[in-house]
């Protein structure tokens, strides 16, 4: 619970490199996440190159704060993990396939593990998802049978945001069935 309570979306980073062993530790934490039918659809592209990071920030609606992060990690759901078809797969925001929803769900669990482990080892992070597949995939040469779930900015935090307000459990939890009362 401590790491869950401490985790914040960091948008300002110190100009300090992130050690490769810490990045691999984050990848290991994501690798250990559960997935439906153990499909493990997550794939990751680690980006440190400044020119590529600039393109990613531009594709994410010019969120230039992203550029202060020494590392960006593209988190990708692999369509071939659930679909054994030979037909050409092309996933985007309008794709109706149920498998895409399952892959996004499973990859999101792995990303959640990654974010919590980042907090645990003293790193700041932020999940960025304001982009379209057609804008983000070409930057990293990601094929159309993959879906970019998010880009994680990663580094040593140069800020300590206060906790954001959270709803009370009474607003979120229902018992036995959906209802407005307990």
pTM here is 0.91
DSSP calls for 56-91? HHHHTTS-GGGGG-SEEEEEEEEGGGT----SPP--
CATH architecture, domain defined by 2-172: 3-Layer(aba) Sandwich (3.40)
Tell me: the pLDDT tens digits for 54-91? 999 999 999 999 999 999 999 999 987 877 665 566 66
Q: How far apart are the first and last CA of the chain?
A: 26
Tell me: the pLDDT tens digits for 11-61? 999 999 999 999 999 999 999 999 999 999 999 999 999 999 999 999 999
> Where in the chain are the domains?
2-172
- Distance CA(136)–CA(1), nearest Å, equals 34
Tell me: the pLDDT tens digits for 82-141? 776 655 666 666 666 677 788 889 999 999 999 999 999 999 999 999 999 999 999 999
């Amino acid at each position: 619970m401590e790491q869950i309570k401490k985790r914040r979306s960091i948008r300002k980073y110190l100009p300090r490199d992130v050690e490769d062993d810490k990045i691999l530790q984050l990848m290991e934490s994501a690798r250990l996440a559960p997935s439906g039918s153990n499909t493990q659809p997550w794939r990751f592209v680690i980006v440190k190159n400044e020119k590529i990071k600039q393109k990613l920030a531009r594709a994410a609606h010019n969120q230039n704060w992203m550029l202060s992060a020494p590392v960006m990690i593209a988190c990708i759901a692999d369509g071939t993990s659930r679909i054994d078809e030979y037909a050409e797969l092309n996933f985007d925001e309008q794709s109706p396939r149920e498998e895409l929803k399952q892959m996004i769900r499973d990859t999101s669990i792995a990303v959640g593990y990654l974010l919590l482990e980042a907090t645990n080892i003293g790193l700041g992070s932020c999940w960025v998802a304001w982009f379209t597949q057609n804008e983000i995939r070409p930057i990293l040469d990601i094929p159309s049978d993959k879906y970019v779930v998010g880009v994680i900015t990663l580094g040593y935090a140069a800020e300590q945001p206060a906790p954001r307000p959270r709803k009370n459990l009474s607003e979120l939890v229902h018992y036995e069935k959906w209802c407005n009362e307990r």
